[in-house]
Structure 1
Amino acid sequence: MTENPQQPQDQPAPQLTEEEMAYVVSLFDMAREGRTEELLPAVQAGVPVNLTNGKGDTLLILAAYHQQEDTVAALLGAGADPDRVNDNGQTALMSAIFRGNEAVVRALLEAGASQTAGAHSAADFARVFERTDLLAVLEEYPAR
């Protein structure tokens, strides 16, 4: 008989210690601040590349929003899902469009980011936030 490695349904999930929680929070700070040289080894050591915070923001969404081009590239290279949607229906692509960062928009599109993932299309998002300069960039990439 084999053991079931899953936790029994009636037992609560283990809680993180204060130290562990501080470390997890620091990972999101690393993404925001572009501290790729600290963040990437953590991901390579086993931190989920699609880790989300309490708002559903992934490391990639935060890096894109804060215009951290190198961090975005490193997370994409490590397998981050560019189409993950946060609790507000936004993706990393929408974050980059909102901030008007063409380089991050291009990096995400080149990694296969969908222009229709999330609550709005990328083009609609660009129009709403008056980032119409990025519409030409979006048109360069086939919509998925």
Structure 2
Amino acid sequence: MFDLARDGHSEELAAYVDAGVPVNLTNDKGDTLLMLAAYHGHPDTVAALLARGADPARENERGQTALTAAVFKQSREAVTALLDAGADPHQGNQSAIATATFFELPAMLELLQRGRGT
């Protein structure tokens, strides 16, 4: 399942989730399918998982969220989808806002601020 998320196999992954695989399945580091799809730059997979109830508020063992991953990868589509799903840019030990600031990603910071009115 995790490789499907990493590789952006949206339809196949969605079919497994529809058949009963938990949409918030996590690996040994606490990474969810949603986090992996966001980190590996697959906004279509992010959208498919969100449509099936994936929780954008989940944090891995480092306090990172899917939104943090999408910001780090500078995926405007994934960031927008996650914000639309209610992701909080201030959540986590390594929040999306902190990530955008630390890595000097002004376009991502602007998107986060505009998207959530922060």
Q: Within 1, Cα distance between the matches of 2:32 and 2:11?
A: 18
8 Å CA contact 2:65, 2:95 repeated in 1: no
8 Å CA contact 2:62, 2:94 repeated in 1: no
Report the counterpart of residue 120 of structure 1 in structure 2.
Answer: 94
Report the counterpart of residue 8 of structure 2 in structure 1.
Answer: 34
Taking structure 2 as the reference length, the TM-score comes to 0.94
Q: CA deviation at 1:120?
A: 3.4
Q: Within 2, Cα distance between the matches of 1:122 and 1:65?
A: 12
Moved more, 33-42 or 132-141: 132-141
Q: Percent identity?
A: 54
Matching of residue 140 in structure 1 with residue 114 in structure 2: yes
| Unpaired segments ≥5 residues, structure 2 | none
Q: CA deviation at 1:119?
A: 0.6
| Unpaired segments ≥5 residues, structure 1 | 1-26
Q: CA deviation at 1:143?
A: 5.7
Q: Within 1, Cα distance between the matches of 2:29 and 2:95?
A: 20
Is the helix fraction higher in 1 or 2?
2
Report the counterpart of residue 110 of structure 1 in structure 2.
Answer: 84
Q: Within 2, Cα distance between the matches of 1:59 and 1:102?
A: 19
Counterpart residue identity of residue 82, structure 1:
P
Q: Within 2, Cα distance between the matches of 1:36 and 1:120?
A: 27
Q: Secondary structure at the match of 2:80?
A: helix
Number of aligned positions between the proteins: 118
8 Å CA contact 1:115, 1:143 repeated in 2: no
- Considering only CA atoms, is the larger Rg found in Structure 1 or Structure 2? 1
Q: CA deviation at 1:45?
A: 0.9
Report the counterpart of residue 24 of structure 1 in structure 2.
Answer: none
Cα 1:135/1:116, change in 2 over 3 Å:
same
Counterpart residue identity of residue 43, structure 1:
V
Taking structure 1 as the reference length, the TM-score comes to 0.78
Q: Secondary structure at the match of 1:140?
A: helix
Among 61, 66, 83, the residue aligned to 2:40:
66
Report the counterpart of residue 91 of structure 1 in structure 2.
Answer: 65
Moved more, 77-86 or 113-122: 113-122
Q: Within 2, Cα distance between the matches of 1:46 and 1:89?
A: 27
Alignment of 1:19-30 (within 5 A): 27-30=1-4
1:43-84 deviation per Cα after TM superposition (whole angstroms, max 9, x unaligned): 011111000000100000000000111100000000000010
Q: Within 1, Cα distance between the matches of 2:117 and 2:65?
A: 15
